[in-house]
Amino acid sequence: MSLTIEQAVKAHVVAAAAFLPTVEATFHYDARDPFAVRVDFPASATLEGTEVSWTFARELLRDGLTGPAGSGDVRVRPHGWERLIVEFHAPEGMAVVHLPSAEVRGFLERTAAVVPPGEERITVDLDRCLAALMREG
């Protein structure tokens, strides 16, 4: 079984225009960092024309499927059963993205097959984490 999971999703970027442009965002999960998920947006989704990545807690994404979650840079909430709204807050501004809930649920199920929720601490490689901290310090 793979320790890394990637899944493309069709994301609708909310803008001032009535049209919601669709972009292909990609979710990533790596068992070596079991608490986190990453989502990558292509350059076409940004005003600057550069790719953007956000890393945040897998639990935040899971909790956001059933109710509002997050109070910091990333906030997630359901919009009915079929859609998930994710807000990304940065000093430059805010982006709001609509994602298909079914695709996000599928991604989370695949991550849970690799590292079940609640067992993340068991899989963390403490030696690797300490070595990384020592290099940074």
Residue 122 has phi, psi (to 5 degrees) of -70, -35
In the sheet that holds 74-79, the strands lie side by side as 52-57, 36-41, 22-30, 4-14, 93-100, 83-90, 74-79
Share of the chain above pLDDT 90, in %: 44
* Confidence check: pLDDT of 18 > 60: no
Residue 77, helix vs strand vs coil: strand
Confidence of residue 16 (pLDDT cuts 50, 70, 90): very low
pLDDT tens sequence across 35-79: 999 999 888 777 777 888 999 999 999 999 999 999 889 999 999
Given this model, what pLDDT does residue 68 score? 96
pLDDT tens sequence across 63-121: 999 999 998 899 999 998 899 999 998 887 788 899 999 999 999 999 999 888 887 77
CB 7 within 8 A of CB 26: yes
Confidence of residue 126 (pLDDT cuts 50, 70, 90): low
pTM: 0.77
| Sign, Cα dihedral of 125, 121, 118, 72 | negative
